Amino acid sequence: MPIISQPNWEKWCTMNKADIITEIGKDKVVEGLISNYSNDKSLLKDLSQEIYLILLEYDEDTIVQAYNRNELTFLIYRIAKNQFFSNTSPFYYNETQYIMDKRELRNVYITKTPLWGDSTATTKRQANKRKKEIEKYEADNQ
């Protein structure tokens, strides 16, 4: 787990929220903390962006004080954990909905029951075509 520490006293005293978040972004601290949450790189990118947005919405004093007390890593970890695992967080809701929608689409298109028209052969062909489209999409986005 990356630890955020102050390299020298002058920098420690003069950092503001924007400077701290910029430093965190350059050092990829958030990405390092959340790297074990999932194998889906696009999911982790979305989570890290959500965490950066939350940090930007925090008070200036909260971020600076957490940085000065070396508590910023813990703060980021708690934000990430809450966003990823809490079923009331916006990130969890949006990503879970996306994953569920993708699974439902896969199940709908791969089913053997005709969804449109009466021809089972047409349905299977269309389902196989859609299955290939979904697999190609997933391969491109991993």
Q: Tell me the pTM.
A: 0.60
Residues 15-28 pLDDT 10s: 899 999 999 999 99
Cβ(84)–Cβ(47) under 8 Å? yes
**Average pLDDT of the chain, as a whole number:** 76
Distances (CA, A) of 58 to 35, 72, 91: 23, 12, 17
- pLDDT in the model for residue 37: 81
Q: Residue 117 pLDDT more than 60?
A: no
Q: Does residue 117 or residue 84 have the better pLDDT? A: 84
Report the candidate in 94, 93, 92 with the shortest Cα–Cα distance to residue 84: 92
Residues 45-81 pLDDT 10s? 889 999 999 999 999 999 999 999 999 999 999 999 8
DSSP secondary structure of 67-108? HHTT-HHHHHHHHHHHHHH-TTSHHHHHHHHHHHHHHHHHHH
Lowest mean pLDDT among 1-5, 14-18, 22-26, 117-121: 117-121
Name 103's Cβ contacts closer than 8 Å, sequence gap at least 6.
none
**In the predicted structure, residue 119 carries a pLDDT above the cut 50:** no
* Banded pLDDT at 91 (limits 50, 70, 90): confident
Report pLDDT for 112: 44
